[in-house]
Amino acid sequence: MQIQATRSAIPLRAASLVAATASVFLFAPSLASAHAIAGNRIFPSTMAVDDPGVGDEANLEYGHQRVPGDSGDQSINTFDFEYDKLITSRLAVSVDGTYAMQNNPRARGFDNFGVGLKYLLYVNDEHEFMTSVGVNAELGGTGSRAIASNFSTISPTIYAGKGMGDLPASLAYLRPIAITGEAGPALTTGAGQPNAFNYGFTVQYSLPYLQQHVHDIGLPQPLANVIPLVEIPLSRSQGQTTGTVNPGFIWINRYGQFGVEAQLPINHASGSHVGILVQAHIFFDDVAPTTIGKPLFQ
């Protein structure tokens, strides 16, 4: 991928489409189930650091970011999509793509398309722990010449999540906290192209968990289904670390979720301005569990 961004999105007019999609969920039933569950813990599908679960789901993300370019700051807007399909209850395949628009120089088009495989390795309900392994491949030459690279990138990755629901009663109000993370190399097939090591983590405080499993403090809807969080996606290549700190929130219910995050660059190499991510996400395994959300093999 030739554009210099970690994870970005498109202009405000496109973001309104995400808000419209999210409004479909705002009046749906309250949170009842979701695809990444360990005991009482639901790990939401976060925007920049992938969650530790597998599921039948679709994800749309919009955002905007400015990053350093060869001839000054470069404004990048993208529209990301991903579809994950369960093969079994523990194994999922995915396809994804990004339409990007950038200035300085001006270019637009699809980045290389990607495919992935993810396996749910272990779940401990008592300690709200979950871990998965996977591999993702960005397929060189499948996108626009103005945007995409002609080489592929292969990324084996491990994912993990831990909820704090096993803390003692004296720390009950810390039980809604969860931490998730991912780590793995990004290996390129292009001669002379640098490899990278991508990693990141999230810290979440689940208000649904607080209400349902600690103490009902009487939060009204939609606030009762909000998960405030901070994501920190990072990448290290050629001795340089880049990344962002992303404070935001996710509103989640049984059928999907809507999220918004700011993107704060950690250094000048990561960007020069605050960016934004906006997400709309659908859980097909809850929307249509007996049809399109059903694993291909039980």
Peptide bond into 11 cis (omega under 30): no
The full 3-state SS of the chain, as one line of letters, equals CCCCCCCCCCCHHHHHHHHHHHHHHHCCCCCCCCCCEECCEECCCCCCCCCCCCCCEEEEEEEEEEEEECCEEEEEEEEEEEEEEECCCCEEEEEEEEEEEECCCCEEEECCCEEEEEEEEEEECCCCEEEEEEEEEECCCCCCCCCCCCCCEEEEEEEEEEECCCCCHHHHHHCCEEEEEEEEEEEECCCCCCCEEEEEEEEEECHHHHHHHHCCCCCCCCHHHEEEEEEEEEEEECCEEEEEEEEEEEEECCCEEEEEEEEEECCHHHCCCCEEEEEEEEEHHHHCCCCCCCCCCC
* End-to-end alpha carbon distance in the chain: 37
117 domain residue, yes or no:
yes
Residue 211 is part of which domain span? Answer: 12-287
Residue 145 is predicted with a pLDDT of: 92
Domain count of the fold of the chain:
1
CA 198, 236, 129, 31 dihedral sign is: negative
Output the pLDDT for position 118: 98
Q: How many CA atoms lie within 13 A of 40 on its CB side?
A: 16
In a domain, 26, yes or no: yes
Q: How high is the pLDDT of residue 98?
A: 97
174 within some domain:
yes
| In-domain check, residue 297 | no
Kindly state whether residue 2 falls inside one of the protein's structural domains. Answer: no
What is the pLDDT, as a whole number, of residue 34?
54
- CA 247 and chain centroid, separation: 13
Q: Tell me the average confidence (pLDDT) per consecutive run of 10 residues in the chain, 298 residues long.
A: 40 45 43 75 97 97 84 85 97 97 89 98 98 98 94 98 98 98 97 96 98 96 96 97 98 96 94 94 94 93
Question: What pLDDT is attached to residue 25?
Answer: 43
Q: What is the pTM of this model?
A: 0.87
For residue 114, is it within any domain? yes
Do the domain assignments include residue 294? no
Tell me, what's the pLDDT at 71? 65
CATH number at 247 reads 2.40.160.40
Asked, for residue 293, whether it belongs to a domain, the answer is: no
